[in-house]
Amino acid sequence: MNTADLGLPVDVPSTALFTDQYELTMLQAALKAGTGDRRSVFEVFTRRLPEGRRYGVVAGTGRVLDAVENFRFDAGVLGFLRERNIVDETTLAWLADYRFTGDIWGYPEGEVYFPGSPILRVEGSFAECVLLETVILSILNHDSAIAAAASRMSSAAGDRPLIEMGARRTHELAAVAASRAAYVGGFATTSDLAAGFRYGIPTVGTSAHAFTLLHDNERDAFRAQVDSLGRGTTLLVDTYDVTEAVRMAVEVAGPELGAVRIDSGDLLLVAHRVRQQLDDLGATETKIVVTSDLDEYAIASLAAAPVDAYGVGTQLVTGSGHPTASMVYKLVARAHSAEPGAPLEPVAKKSLGAKSSMGGRKWAARREDAYGVAEAEVIGTGAVPDGLVEHQLQVELVKGGEVLAREPLDAVRDRHAAARARLPLSATQLSRGEAVIPTEYV
What is the arithmetic mean of pLDDT over 159-183?
97
How confident is residue 352, by pLDDT bands cut at 50, 70 and 90? low
Domain of 239, CATH number, reads 3.20.20.70
Cα angle for residues 119, 201, 184 (degrees, 5° grid): 25
Asked if residue 387 is part of any domain, the answer here is yes
264 plus 375 within the same structural domain? no
Do 286 and 176 fall within a single domain? yes
Domain count within the chain: 2
Does 37 reside within a domain? yes
Same domain flag for 222 and 292 = yes
What residues have CB less than 8 Å from 195, skipping those under 6 apart?
164, 167, 175, 176, 179, 180, 201, 203
**Distance, CA of 98 to CA of 74 (rounded, Å):** 10
- Is residue 112 pLDDT above 50, yes or no? yes
What is the reported pTM?
0.94
Residues 77 and 121 in one domain: yes
Q: Are residues 316 and 437 in the same domain?
A: no
pLDDT digits (tens, 9 = 90+) for 411-442: 999 999 999 999 999 999 998 889 999 999 99
Report pLDDT for 354: 64
Q: Name the residue range of residue 278's domain.
A: 153-320
402-415 core/surface letters (b: 16 or more CB in 10 A; e: else): eeebeeebeebbeb
- List strand residue ranges (DSSP E) for 32-185, in order: 39-46, 56-57, 103-106, 112-113, 120-125, 162-164
pLDDT of residue 411: 98
11 band by pLDDT with thresholds 50, 70 and 90: low
Assess if residue 5 is contained within a domain.
no
Answer yes or no: is 301 within a domain. yes
Question: Is the same domain home to 195 and 290?
Answer: yes
Q: Which of 280, 298, 320 is the last residue of a domain?
A: 320
Same domain, residue pair 278 and 387: no
Q: Assess if residue 189 is contained within a domain.
A: yes
Q: What is the CATH number of the domain that holds 79?
A: 3.20.140.10
Mean pLDDT (whole number) for 361-378 = 97
**Residues 106 and 229 both lie in one domain:** no
Residues 278-297 have pLDDT tens digits of 999 999 999 999 999 999 99
Q: Same domain, yes or no, for 390 and 314?
A: no
Specify the pLDDT at position 14.
Answer: 86
Checking if the pLDDT of 7 tops 50, the result is no
Last residue of a domain, one of 302, 320, 338: 320
- The answer to the question of residue 290 being in a domain is yes
Last residue of a domain, one of 320, 339, 354: 320
What are the tens digits of pLDDT across the range 234-278?
Answer: 999 999 999 999 999 999 999 999 999 999 999 999 999 999 999
Q: What is the mean pLDDT of the chain?
A: 95
Binned at pLDDT 50, 70 and 90, residue 340 comes out as: confident
The helix, strand and coil proportions of the chain, stated in percent and rounded to the nearest 5, come to: 40, 20, 40
Percent of the chain with pLDDT over 90: 93
The pLDDT of residue 189: 98
Tell me what the mean pLDDT of segment 38-45 comes to: 98
User: Mean pLDDT throughout 385-393?
Assistant: 96
240 lies in the same domain as 358: no
Q: Is residue 361 situated within a structural domain?
A: yes
The answer to whether residue 1 sits within a structural domain is no
Please indicate, yes or no, whether residues 26 and 39 belong to a single structural domain of this protein: yes
24 and 114 co-located in one domain: yes
